[in-house]
Structure 1
Amino acid sequence: MTPELCVVVPTFNERENVPLLIRELSASLEGWNWEVVFVDDDSVDGTADVVSAHAKTNPRVRLIHRIGRRGLSSACMEGMLSSQAPLLAVMDADLQHDSSILPRMVQCLQQGSHDVVVGTRNSDGGSMGEFCKTRILLSRAGQRLSQTICRCKLSDPMSGFFLIRRNFLMEVVRDVRGEGFKILVDMLSSARRPVSLTEVGYTFRARTHGESKLDAAVAIEYLFLVLNKMLGDVIPVHLTLFMLVGCIGLILHLLTLLYLVDARHVHFLTAQIIATFLAMSENFLLNNRITFRDRRLKGKHLLPGIMRFAVTCSFGAWANFIFTRALWQSGVEWLVAGFAGIMIASVWNLSVSSFVTWPVRRHSADARPAYDPAIAGNIEVTH
């Protein structure tokens, strides 16, 4: 029978948390007709093996094992679209979301005409728990930003814990960017009508196993998602981030030239080489940290990565020069021609870098830990 509720859980390196979450969901949703879909982005710790082991004995558990694709938002969309359940929930695998409020969320949706029910930490009895003031301030800032693009009042736009109707998903699915970490704001801002929304409070819990995927890059990504939605989805978020990093590199390049030539009296060509090297290194490091954070190069991969990036950008610079010169010689104003050249180079560099410098890495079976049945099902739950 088609389940009444589908809980979608995106995962990446969450093998210890999977059995605990299944156990929590079983207790919270006892008596309900439900399923849980884990969407795993080819975790290197064997998360997919743990989910698969449970799926063989528990018909409520399903696995979507994605290879060559990454991203929390796209994983959530893929998981929701894989189910025919009329009610679709999304939550994290790290046990920070309180699954015990799911029945209340379902009741809110069934008893009213709402499209969305959000698990909130900022109102209706919700709490950020023991988290630091900086994270709380970021949440408040995200709340204010979301009001500019969402068609409803939302106290916790940064929440990754929500419940929607399937028909609402089908309304917005073709307009959702599916990039970054904040799928809720992406969906709400993609709606072409006012969204009926209510909230249920819960206390955000501390992570017990695994490492948090959140850092400063997520906040930057969220900011550009908001800006992109305000501009009508004109420029993809990744391209915007890539161009921002490029602008920072340009400023660094000019400041380095100014310092070396004017203050240190270094020969211009020598200063140009140094400035170019510094700007290119900065571009690589920031793109590695922000734009391609899900494919971040580390350790021994850094040096080959920066060399590939340098070669890629040299072709982009050549294309920029040729295209800009052609436009300028045909009578186009220099400012317009220059901007067009920058766009051409940015699109080239981003596209090629995605495949050459930061390709989606496929982890071999040898890189994965041996399958351990104890982790799959025999973990003692302590409180």
Structure 2
Amino acid sequence: MAPDAGPPSVSVVIPGKNESENLPELIEEIRVALGARAFEVIVVDDGSDDGTDRAILALMRERPWLRLVRHAQSCGQSAAVRTGLLAARAPIVVTIDGDGQNDPAFMPALIDALVAGGPMMGIAAGQRLKRTDSGAKRIASRVANKVRGAILQDGTRDSGCGLKALRREMFLLFPYFDGWHRYLPALAIREGYRVTHIDVVDRNRRHGQSKYGILDRGLQGALDLIGVWWLKRRRKRIPSPTEISIDG
């Protein structure tokens, strides 16, 4: 099926700020990776000032499956991912970072793992091998993930990987907070869904510089971790509702 023939079966959400150089290459790689699937790609421009919107609009002229949603001012990665998920038209959504470090070649494996797991498989989450970040960032991330995993018990080795496939209907159940995109597996488990993991290989950033530091992410992450732990503690049972009709 051509990517523009009928409603999409997969929506790809790309959050990005000032990624005008990376996004055109990434979008073409996504097209190749998804092949004959019916898909759409939603770029969420998080208040860029480098002409990201103009670059995407130029691409949209020959790509009917490409969409652009723009934040008037930067609201952060979590808000951008959420905006894209709300705008998505497909039941399965794949998220991928806009800096080009996530490889779209792993998208089919994530989608297939999600579908194979049945309706209660909520997320197929990428877990990065051969990280390309600096040594300090890798150490900080390793420590943070071990602490988070010990507290939340979500079985996720790498919560920061932006490459995930998830069910949109499940996402609509989640409470929102800034930083939320790093806790999607724990939030899925809280709603009674299951999580599976796929190893993916990280790449070097092609253009620009990373927008994240160690201290700002670490301090905020500690507060978020407490919040998600509290949310899990405050849910004792997951309802299994059945509608009863007068006809039995």
| Same fold? TM cut 0.5 | yes
Residue pair 2:39, 2:65 contacting (<8 A) in 1 also: yes
Q: Distance in 2 between matches of 1:92 and 1:15?
A: 13
Task: Give the SS at the match of 2:173.
Answer: helix
Determine which of 18, 35, 41 is the counterpart of 1:36.
Answer: 41
Could you tell me which residue of structure 2 aligns to residue 51 of structure 1?
56
TM-score (ref. length: structure 2): 0.83
Task: Give the SS at the match of 2:165.
Answer: strand
Could you tell me which residue of structure 2 aligns to residue 87 of structure 1?
92
Q: Does residue 1:137 correspond to 2:146, yes or no?
A: no
Matches within 5 A, 1:216-231: 216=214, 217-231=216-230
Could you tell me which residue of structure 2 aligns to residue 377 of structure 1?
none
Q: Distance in 1 between matches of 2:123 and 2:188?
A: 14
Residue pair 1:116, 1:196 contacting (<8 A) in 2 also: yes
Q: Distance in 1 between matches of 2:176 and 2:47?
A: 23
Q: Distance in 1 between matches of 2:124 and 2:108?
A: 11
Q: Percent identity?
A: 26
Task: Give the SS at the match of 1:116.
Answer: strand
TM-score (ref. length: structure 1): 0.55
Could you tell me which residue of structure 1 aligns to residue 9 of structure 2?
4
Q: Distance in 2 between matches of 1:152 and 1:194?
A: 12
Residue pair 1:89, 1:163 contacting (<8 A) in 2 also: yes
Shift of the alpha carbon at 1:149? 5.2
Q: Distance in 1 between matches of 2:195 and 2:95?
A: 15
Aligned-residue CA RMSD in angstroms?
A: 1.9
Determine which of 96, 104, 107 is the counterpart of 1:102.
Answer: 107
Amino acid at match of 2:34: L
Matches within 5 A, 1:364-383: none
Could you tell me which residue of structure 2 aligns to residue 356 of structure 1?
none
**4+ runs deviating over 6 angstroms:** none
**Greater fraction helix:** 1
For structure 2, the residue ranges without an aligned partner over 5 or more in a row are 1-5, 233-248
Amino acid at match of 2:123: V
Q: Distance in 1 between matches of 2:106 and 2:86?
A: 23
Larger gyration radius, structure 1 or structure 2: 1
Length, aligned pairs only: 224
Q: Distance in 2 between matches of 1:196 and 1:190?
A: 7
Could you tell me which residue of structure 2 aligns to residue 119 of structure 1?
126
Q: Does residue 1:215 correspond to 2:213, yes or no?
A: yes
For structure 1, the residue ranges without an aligned partner over 5 or more in a row are 234-383
Shift of the alpha carbon at 1:158? 1.8
**Greater fraction strand:** 2
Shift of the alpha carbon at 1:78? 0.8
Q: Deviations over 1:296-334 (max 9, x none)?
A: xxxxxxxxxxxxxxxxxxxxxxxxxxxxxxxxxxxxxxx
Shift of the alpha carbon at 1:64? 0.2
CA distance 1:69–1:19, shift in 2 (3 Å): closer
Task: Give the SS at the match of 1:140.
Answer: helix
Determine which of 202, 206, 226 is the counterpart of 2:204.
Answer: 206
